[in-house]
Amino acid sequence: MNFKMSQFEIVDTSLAGVKHVVRSHYGDNRGWLERMFCAESLSEAGWEKSINQINRTFTEQRGTVRGMHYQNPPHAECKFVNCLYGSVFDVDVDLRKDSPTFLQSYGAELSDNNN
């Protein structure tokens, strides 16, 4: 199911529970505005947790692997990954044994050009 919200387009991926979020920006002759996150709008797509941290990284060398994230319940976290400059290839792997997409993966290029 794909649906368009005023600030975001939410696209289901091949992994259960993983969504691809495309931000919309609105502009005029001065420039543009883009909402980075909106809990109310994203709750319609299944975002259920509050934000406890916001981190920013910079990678100097092209081809560097970063951010291997894994948490066991009850400490599992929701992740909202953005690329503000340049591009990254983001990969999600489903390691939940009870998931219908167990051991499957989804990857997408995230960049400053594709929101």
112 touches 86 (CB < 8 A)? yes
Q: How far is CA 14 from CA 31, 39, 72, 107, in A?
A: 35, 23, 22, 10
Mean pLDDT of the chain: 85
pLDDT of 50 = 80
In the chain, the N- to C-terminal Cα span, in Å, equals: 20
pLDDT digits (tens, 9 = 90+) for 51-82: 878 888 888 898 888 877 787 888 878 888 88
Q: Which CATH class is domain 2-111?
A: mainly beta
* Dihedral sign (CA 63, 82, 18, 108): negative
pLDDT of 4 = 47
pLDDT digits (tens, 9 = 90+) for 81-101: 888 889 999 999 999 899 999
Euclidean distance between CA atoms 107 and 104, whole angstroms: 10
Q: Which residues contact 91 (CB under 8 A, 6 or more apart)?
A: 105, 106, 107
The average pLDDT across 47-53 equals 80
Domain range list for the chain = 2-111
